[in-house]
Structure 1
Amino acid sequence: MSAPGAPLARPRERLRTGSLRRRVVVAVLLLLAVLLLVLSVTVDQVLRQRLEGQLEQRLLDRAAVAVALEDQVDDEELVDRLAGQGVSVRLVTEDGEVLTAGPPLGTGTSPVAPGAARPSRDDGPGPEPPAPPAGEGVVQRGDVLSTTTELDDGALVLQADASELRSTLAQVRAVIAVSCVVALAVAALALLAVVGRVLAPLDRITATARSIGAGDRGRRLRPDRPGTELGRTAAAFDDMLDAVEGAEARARASEHRMRDLLDEAAHELRTPLAGVQAAADLLVRAERPRAEVERLAVSVVRESRRASRLVEDLLTMARIDRGLELSPQDADLVDLARTAVEDRRLRPGPAVLDVGASGPAPVRADPDRVGQVLANLLDNAVRAAGPGGRVDVLVGREVDGAVVTVLDDGPGVAPQDRERVFERLVRLDEARSRDAGGAGLGLPIARGIARAHGGDVVLRERPDGARGAAAVLRLPLRTGG
C-alpha cells in the first residue's frame, strides 16, 4: 500500500494492436457506404422531383392546349384530345353537363393513348377528387395532381395519378439498394486483396525484426523511397537498429575494457603486495641484522605506498566515471603551475625549469584537482626525459582558454600512440620497470579531470620541432578575466 499523500503510479499505456488490415477495410467500407447512401438519396430526390415536374408540366401543357383549342373543336372532341398518357379530363359546361375521359384515378392504370377512353356524359369513373380553384396551377392531394382552367364554355379539370410514379421510384430504390450491397461486397473483397498487398512492407519489417532478434544483427530494411510514410518508418527502424547495434558494441567493448582493467589492476597490485608479504615474512621469521631490518622496512613502506597510490588512482578513475565533484574557485593558472613545479623539485629527478608565463591566466577551477593534473603531467614528463633530462613548463592564454604546455626532451611519442596513452593502464614501453613507468593511470586521470572542468589534455609534438613531446592542458578562461 502506498504511503498517504504519495503520488499514485500511473498505469503504463499499452499500444492497441488490433488488425490493421481489418481496420483499414472497415474504415474504407464505412466511408464507401456513407458515400453510396448520400448518392442514393441524392439520385432519389432528383429523380422524384424530375418525374413529378414532368407530370406537372404535362398537365400545364394540356391546359394550354385546351385554351388554344376551345374555339376550334366541340367539347367532346376537346376532352377526347386532352385525355391520355395518365391524364384524366373532366369538363363541366355552363349548362351543368359533365364530360369525362382518361383512366380512372387511383387505379394505377397505365396511360392510354389519345382516343382510347372516349368522353362520357354523367357516367364518369365515379366521384372525382375536388378540383383546385382555377388559376392556382398544379395542386397535389394524396397521389393526385390537379389543375383547373376556366374556358369560355365551362371549367376544365385536368388530373393525373402519381401512384405509378411512386411505384417506379420504389423499384429504382430497390435497384439502387441491391447495387449498393453488391458494390460493398465487391469492394470488401477487393480491399482485402489490395490492403494485403499494400501492408506487405509491414510484414517484411516484422520478419526483419524477428531475424535480428534471433541474432542476425546486420539485416536492414533500406527503403527505396525514405520520404513516404512506410519509408520513414523503415528508415527510423534502420536508425534504431544502428543505434542498438552501436550501443551493444560499446557495451561489449566497455565490458572488455572493464575486465582488462580488473586484470591489470590485480596484476599491478599483486607486485607490491607480494613485496610487502615477502619483506614481512623475512622480518618475522628470525633475528636480522639492523641494516637488513631497516632495508626490509623501507621496502615494506615503499611497496605499500605504491599499492596505496594505485588504489587511490583507481578510486579517482571511478569518481571521474561517476561524475567528479569539484570545488571551483577563482585562480590563476600561472600560480597553480608554479606550485606544481616547486612540489616536483622536492623529489629526485631531472631539473624542472621555472614556469614561463606570458601573463596571468585566470580560470574558474578546483585548485587541488588542477594541481593533480599538473603533477601527473610533470611526473610523466620527468619519466620520459629520464636521468639528466630537461622539462619546461609554459603558461599562456589563447582565444578559447588558458593553456599549460609541459615540454620534455625524451624520446617522444609516435603520432599513432598519442591517443592510446590516454587509455587506462597502458604503457607504451613495456620493457620499462613498473616503478619507473608508473601504472598507466596518470594521463587518463589528467584528461578526466580536465574534461570535468570543460577543458582537455592532449599530447603533441614539440612546437619548436625539437626531440621530445608536449603535453597540453587547456582550461576555459574565467568569465571577465
Structure 2
Amino acid sequence: MTATAPDGLRTPSLRRRATVVVVVLVAALLVVLVVATELVLRERLDAQLRQRLVDRVGVAEALVGQVDDRDLARRLEGQGVSVVIVTADGATYAEGSLAGALGAGGPASDPAGPNEGPDAPPVGADPPGPAPPDPPGADPEVQESGDLLTVSRRLDDGSTLLLAADAGDVRDTVAEVRLVLLVAAGLVLLLTAVLVPLVVSGALRPLRTITGVARDITRGDRGRRLRPVSPHTELGRTAVAFDDMLDEVVGAEERAVASEARLRSFLSDAAHELRTPVAGVQATAEQLLRDDPPRAEREQALLALIRATRRAGRLVDDLLLMARIDRGLDLQRAEVDLAEVADEVLDERRHRHLSARLVREGGPLLVEGDHDRLVQVVANLVDNALQATGGQGQVVVRLDAVDDGAARLDVADDGPGVPPEQRERVFERLVRLENGHARPDGAGLGLPIARGIARSHGGDLVCLAAPSGGALFRLTLPPSSAGVGPTGPVRRVQAH
C-alpha cells in the first residue's frame, strides 16, 4: 500500500510549474506584441498613404498653370498613387492602375488625345470620384471606400483633380508581417519550453544540495554544512541561514547531551555523598539497637549520629538551593553595603579561627541585592579561604569600585592557590580539589552556589591568581541606583 501525502504536501514539480508559468507569460507577451505591432504598423502605413495623397494635392496646386494637364498627371502619378484630371472643358487625363476605378477612360499617354479611347467619358460628364471635390483653400479630405483611398480637389484653373491609392497593399504588408511575427512567436515559445526547464534545473541545483545535506545530517553526519560560495545571493543567504540553523540545532543537541551527562554525574555524585552519612546513621543506629552500650559509649554514638545527620541535611539543603538557582532564585532586593556584609562574616568567624588573620580593606560599597544571599556568598568564599590556609593564614576581603560603576569584592588568601587549569573547574558541582579548597565535611557545592547567587544578582564570580601567591576569588556586582559610596578608611578585623 502506498502512503498518500496530506493535501498540503501534494505540490507539483517546481520545475514544471516554473516552465508552465514562463511559457504562458511569454505567450501572452508575444500575443500582445503581435497585436500591437499589427495595429501600429497598419496605422502607420495608412497614415503615410493618406499623407502621400495630401502631399500630391499640394504639389498639384503648386504646379497648376505652370505645366499642362497631361504633364501634371504624369508628375503626380507614382508610388501607388493614381491620378485623374478633369479639365474645365471636360477633357480627362488619367495616370495609374486605379484610374479606371475613378471613371477615367484611358491612360494619359494615349495618343488618341484626352477625349478619345474606348473608355473615355462623354464630354461634359460629371467629374468622377467618390465625393465632390474640395473647394480651393480648404484642407483636402481623404475618403475611404473599402481598400480604396481617394481625394478630390478643384484646382485654380477650374479643373478637378482626383487622386487614388490602393490600401490593399498596406493590408497585404501587414498580413505578411503578422505571419512572420506568428512564426517567430511560435519558435520563441518552443525555444522557451526547451530552455526554461534547463535553466530552472540549474537554478534549483542548490536546493538539491540542501536536500542532500539534510539527508546526510538525518543519517547521522552532523558535521555536514552547505558553506555557499556566494553568500550574498538569495539562495546564498538561504544556505547561510540553513547552516546557522544547523549549528544552533547541533549545538543545542550537544548541550542537551552534555547537560544530561552532567546531570547523571551529579546525581551519581550526590548519591555517593549522601550514602556516606546515611550509612553512618544506619550503622550507628544498628549498633545502639544491637549492643545496648554503656552510657558513655551511647552518648558518643549519638553524637556521631547527629554529626552524620547534620552533614546529610546540609547536603540536601545545598542540593535544593542549587535546584532553586537553576530554576531562578527569588531575591529580596534592597540596598546593601558590602562592607557591612564582609564585617558580619568576618566577625562571626573570628571566634572559631583564633589563629587566622582576617582583614577587610575598603568600603563602604553599595549594591542592590539580597542581603542574606550575599552574606552566604561571602561566607562561602571566606570559609573556602580559611580551609585553604588551614585556619592559620591570612584572608583579606578587599572592596572597591571599578570604572563602570560596578562593585568588586575580592577574597584573597595566602594558601597554596589554585592551578590555572583548575580555576574554572572549582565552580563545577561536587568537585573538591586536593589542595584544600573545600571543607573536609563539604560536598563541593559552596563555590557553585556562590557563583549561582552572584549571577542571579546580575554579576559574576571568578577565580584569579593572587599577586602575592595564594588564591583570589573576585565577586563583581552591578552598583545600586544610589551609586557607590566613597571608599572609607581601612578596617582590619583580626582574630586574637
Q: TM-score normalised by the shorter chain: which range applies?
A: 0.7 to 0.9
Flag the 1:211–1:250 CA change in 2: closer, same or farther, 3 A.
Answer: same
2:446 maps to what in 1? 442
Flag the 1:59–1:389 CA change in 2: closer, same or farther, 3 A.
Answer: same
* Bigger relative contact order, structure 1 or 2 (CA pairs below 8 A, ≥6 apart): 2
CA contact (8 A) 1:356 1:395 kept: yes
Give the fraction of aligned pairs with identical amino acids, expressed as a percent: 50
The answer as to 2:321 corresponding to 1:316 is yes
SS of 2:440 mapped into structure 1: helix
- Aligned-residue RMSD, C-alpha: 3.4
What's the CA shift string for 1:181-232, capped at 9, x where partnerless? 3212212211211221122112111211121122111111122222222222
User: What is the alpha-carbon distance in structure 2 between the residues aligned to residue 192 and residue 116 of structure 1?
Assistant: 69
2:41 maps to what in 1? 47
Given residue 408 of structure 2, which amino acid in structure 1 is its aligned partner? Answer: V
1:205-284 residue pairs with structure 2 within 5 A? 205-284=210-289
- 2:463 corresponds to which of 435, 459, 476: 459
Flag the 1:409–1:439 CA change in 2: closer, same or farther, 3 A.
Answer: same
The answer as to 2:143 corresponding to 1:140 is yes
Given residue 358 of structure 1, which amino acid in structure 2 is its aligned partner? Answer: G
- 2:87 corresponds to which of 71, 93, 96: 93
- 1:394 corresponds to which of 369, 378, 397: 397
CA contact (8 A) 2:133 2:154 kept: no
1:479 maps to what in 2? 481
User: What is the alpha-carbon distance in structure 1 between the residues aligned to residue 183 and residue 129 of structure 2?
Assistant: 39
User: What is the alpha-carbon distance in structure 2 between the residues aligned to residue 382 and residue 359 of structure 1?
Assistant: 22
SS of 1:120 mapped into structure 2: coil
Aligned length: 457
Given residue 228 of structure 1, which amino acid in structure 2 is its aligned partner? Answer: T
TM-superposed CA distance for 1:290, in Å, is: 0.8
SS of 2:276 mapped into structure 1: helix
SS of 1:339 mapped into structure 2: helix
User: What is the alpha-carbon distance in structure 2 between the residues aligned to residue 120 and residue 71 of structure 1?
Assistant: 28
SS of 1:221 mapped into structure 2: coil
Given residue 141 of structure 1, which amino acid in structure 2 is its aligned partner? Answer: E
TM-superposed CA distance for 1:63, in Å, is: 4.1
CA contact (8 A) 1:106 1:163 kept: no
- 2:194 corresponds to which of 183, 189, 201: 189
Flag the 1:404–1:52 CA change in 2: closer, same or farther, 3 A.
Answer: closer
1:338 maps to what in 2? 343
5+ unaligned residues in a row in structure 2: which ranges?
A: 1-7, 112-116, 485-496
The answer as to 2:386 corresponding to 1:382 is yes
1:428 maps to what in 2? 433
TM-superposed CA distance for 1:177, in Å, is: 2.4
What's the CA shift string for 1:349-373, capped at 9, x where partnerless? 4634344232311222211101111
TM-superposed CA distance for 1:153, in Å, is: 5.3
CA contact (8 A) 1:100 1:119 kept: no
CA contact (8 A) 1:82 1:114 kept: no
- 2:377 corresponds to which of 373, 377, 385: 373
Provide TM-score, normalisation by structure 2: 0.81
Flag the 1:462–1:371 CA change in 2: closer, same or farther, 3 A.
Answer: same
TM-superposed CA distance for 1:307, in Å, is: 0.8
Flag the 1:17–1:416 CA change in 2: closer, same or farther, 3 A.
Answer: farther
CA contact (8 A) 1:334 1:361 kept: yes
CA contact (8 A) 2:398 2:410 kept: yes
The answer as to 2:123 corresponding to 1:121 is no
1:3 maps to what in 2? none
Flag the 1:47–1:63 CA change in 2: closer, same or farther, 3 A.
Answer: same
CA contact (8 A) 1:131 1:146 kept: no
The answer as to 2:410 corresponding to 1:405 is yes
